[in-house]
Amino acid sequence: MSGTVTIEVPAPQPEIRRPDGDPGGADSLAQALYATAGRYEEFADAGEGLRDLSGWWGSAYTAYQEAAGTASGEHVSLARTVKRVANAVTAYADTLRDLLRTYDELRDRRTALDGDRADLIADINATTDATPSDISALQARAAYLAERYQALVADHDSWLRQVTANEDLLRHTFESATGLGDALSEFGGLSDLAQSAICKVGSPMSGASPEQVAAWWEGLTDAEREAVIAAYPDVIGSADGLPASVRDDANRVSLDGDLARLGAKEDDGTIDSSERDALDNARKTEEALADADAFTDPITGERPGGQLWLYDPGAFDGDGRVAVAIGDLDTADDVAVFTPGISTDMGDVVSYANDMQHLYEATRYNGDGSSVATMFWLGYDTPSGPIDWATLTEGRAEDGGRRLADAFDGLRASRGDDPAHLTAIGHSYGSTTTSYAAGSFDLDAEDVVLIGSPGAGPSDEASDFSVGQDHVYVGRDSRDFVAFLGDEGWVGKFGIGLGTDPSSEDFDATRFEAERPGRGATPIDGGAHSSYLAHDSESLYNISLIVDGHGDQVNESAQSYDPWYGEPEDPEWTRDPSSGVPGRSETREP
């Protein structure tokens, strides 16, 4: 018996059109706008500077002063508005780039499906005397094809909404700064969407907790999220509780803006010293991010990417605040946060970001396969060194400890139901800062590592730390003079350090091997204090195990001690150190 069987082959869909717009063109517009904002700022500065003139008085002078003040203030407002519009254009360009990548993916999927569809039709046409099994197989292929076309349609619809939202957001931003009245207003350059979103309960501008900020973000629509990133990049970029990817997007908008606006001022010859510091900091950050983005995972060969978690180049009198991560802080199984010590400023970000690559690489190389992210965190004002009176107190360490604990709370809140294994690593004065975080401000980490420590600040024993004694690790090179300063023994060292020596028996943390070949014969060996993150070092090897969640596998070393009858003793002084030895100090593929 013969008959006709109908196989319903789905129609090809959807029609995918490339979104209008050119990211490069938008970037050029943003550059021009940033330069314009810079010139308004210059005029405002000049107007303010010329308000007070000597040798002129009377009513005409009074009128002049008022006019100069008004003009200056209006130009400040204009600069602010134009900068906001430029930020919006930069964010538009960034989003458009993402959308174009998605466009390519959608188009590739459509091409593949159309190919499968053509194959199916050809097979149907070629089939004669089909058995029930043949018919069933063809029907199954058609149904599967229809399912995939429907999934593509759904993804395309979602993508199209983002395209529209991106265009609407930029249009609304332009409309909010069209007239002179708008441009001079407090809200010039701010879209209504951004303003309404930032006023909702839990916004980072309301003083909300990291958990509340995280909930606020979850409650926003995609369009609102894009709007607040574009309108308030400074706020979003430093808001504890937000996903790291969001902070990264916002901070890259701010970075692009600073490079363009301050670069234009540099070209004009009107840049002042504080702006020069900020521009230098921005350029170093750009370089560090480029290196981070180009870094490849030693196991997979893929690029985990960099994230700009904190960016404030003008903070702390020009020293700046910055945090650069290697890997994805939103998804990594193991996350390490490194706090630097004395004399570190934002100009050091390239070197420290490179050290974070070392830590990432070592952790992956010697790890258990878990994903990793490592972050250099300069979120506090480190003492500048010998000429900074702040060096004479622990005030900066205490303030930094509070900020560090807040940063960890933010990381925790941003991960919701997907908590990471968090490790806090503090070096030098940064170890005292970390000790304040863990000893006084309930640092929410799993493990703490102190290296090259001059003292554990407020804590006399490892058990004082929030993570518990078993999760406190200490690395001390026996030639490290700074690490020699910590107090130990019943006589002590007359308070010459910044608290108890965490490598000592008194403190009773887990001390790991951290010696170097070629070490000096005396403790005055600068390399000893600065080499804890060098590749193929004992120190980096052991830290990488802790970051990976296997602190129980570190190569332990004996604690220092202070016998009542003599000077403090360090058993590591005479041990032969290693470098690049598997299982002890190998941190990468040779």
Partner 1 sequence: MVGQRRSRVWGAAAMLVAVTLLGGCGEPDEQQVRDSVAASESSVKDAVNEIHEALGASGLEFESASGEWESCRTQPEPGFRFYASGPLQDNGEDPAARVQAATEALERLGWSVTDAGSEPRPYATLEQGESTLTVAESKVNPGSVSLGVRGECLDSTQDLAAELIGESQQLLP
Which of 340, 475, 502, 568 is in the footprint of partner 1 by CB under 8 A?
Answer: 340
Cβ neighbors of 470 (< 8 A, separation 6 or more) are: 510
Per-residue x/- mask for partner 1, residues 21 to 40, rule CB under 8 A?
--------------------
Number of residues that bind partner 1 (CB under 8 A): 73
Measured from the CB of residue 263, what is the shortest distance to partner 1 in angstroms? 16
Q: CA–CA distance from 110 to each of 99, 117, 354, 585 (Å)?
A: 16, 10, 41, 51
Per-residue x/- mask for partner 1, residues 413 to 432, rule CB under 8 A?
--------------xxx---
Structure tokens that stand for 241 in this block: 């509780």
* Beta carbon nearer to partner 1, 51 or 550: 550
In the region spanning residues 137 to 196, those forming contacts with partner 1, defined by CB under 8 A, are: none
* Beta carbon nearer to partner 1, 233 or 523: 523
Which of 47, 379, 401, 439 is in the footprint of partner 1 by CB under 8 A?
Answer: 439
In the region spanning residues 347 to 366, those forming contacts with partner 1, defined by CB under 8 A, are: 347-348, 350-352, 354-355, 358, 365
Measured from the CB of residue 550, what is the shortest distance to partner 1 in angstroms? 15
* Beta carbon nearer to partner 1, 224 or 291: 291
Measured from the CB of residue 586, what is the shortest distance to partner 1 in angstroms? 7
In the region spanning residues 453 to 512, those forming contacts with partner 1, defined by CB under 8 A, are: 454-455, 458-461, 464, 481-482, 485, 494-500
Alpha carbons 84 and 86: distance in angstroms, whole number: 5
**Nearest partner of 439 among 461, 454, 418, 419, judged by Cα:** 461
Measured from the CB of residue 583, what is the shortest distance to partner 1 in angstroms? 6
* Beta carbon nearer to partner 1, 392 or 521: 392
In the sheet that holds 334-339, the strands lie side by side as 306-312, 321-326, 372-378, 334-339, 421-427, 447-451, 472-475, 510-512
* Beta carbon nearer to partner 1, 94 or 501: 501
Site for partner 1 contains 327 (CB under 8 A): no
In the region spanning residues 365 to 384, those forming contacts with partner 1, defined by CB under 8 A, are: 365
* Beta carbon nearer to partner 1, 310 or 346: 346
Which of 25, 416, 517, 520 is in the footprint of partner 1 by CB under 8 A?
Answer: 517
* Beta carbon nearer to partner 1, 138 or 350: 350
Measured from the CB of residue 394, what is the shortest distance to partner 1 in angstroms? 6
* Beta carbon nearer to partner 1, 99 or 540: 540
Query: Crossing angle, helix 59-126 and helix 222-231, to 10 degrees?
Result: 140
**Nearest partner of 92 among 161, 166, 25, judged by Cα:** 166
Alpha carbons 487 and 500: distance in angstroms, whole number: 4
- Nearest-Å Rg of the Cα atoms of the chain is 29
Which of 394, 506, 548, 562 is in the footprint of partner 1 by CB under 8 A?
Answer: 394
* Beta carbon nearer to partner 1, 152 or 378: 378
**Nearest partner of 323 among 311, 341, 336, judged by Cα:** 311
Alpha carbons 431 and 341: distance in angstroms, whole number: 7
**Residue 378 CB burial class (10 angstroms; 0-12, 13-18, ≥19):** buried
* Beta carbon nearer to partner 1, 75 or 358: 358
DSSP conformation letters of 297-349: -TTT-----EEEEEEETTTGGGT-EEEEEES-TTT-SEEEEEE--TT--GGGH
Alpha carbons 368 and 389: distance in angstroms, whole number: 45
Q: Are strands 334-339 and 421-427 parallel, antiparallel or unpaired?
A: parallel
* Beta carbon nearer to partner 1, 428 or 560: 428
Measured from the CB of residue 439, what is the shortest distance to partner 1 in angstroms? 6
**Contact stretch for partner 1 (CB under 8 A) within 33-41, 314-322, 342-350, 405-413:** 342-350
Structure tokens that stand for 362 in this block: 């070592």
Which of 11, 60, 126, 392 is in the footprint of partner 1 by CB under 8 A?
Answer: 392
Alpha carbons 481 and 155: distance in angstroms, whole number: 60
**Nearest partner of 263 among 34, 554, 526, judged by Cα:** 34
Per DSSP, helices labelled H in 462-558 are 481-484, 526-530, 538-547
* Beta carbon nearer to partner 1, 202 or 320: 320
Per-residue x/- mask for partner 1, residues 530 to 559, rule CB under 8 A?
xxxxxxx-----------------------
Site for partner 1 contains 261 (CB under 8 A): no
In the region spanning residues 282 to 301, those forming contacts with partner 1, defined by CB under 8 A, are: 283-284, 287-288, 290-291, 294, 298-299
Contact 555, 513 (CB under 8 A): yes
Site for partner 1 contains 583 (CB under 8 A): yes
**Contact stretch for partner 1 (CB under 8 A) within 36-44, 97-105, 198-206, 388-396:** 388-396
Q: Tell me, what amino acid is at 542? A: N
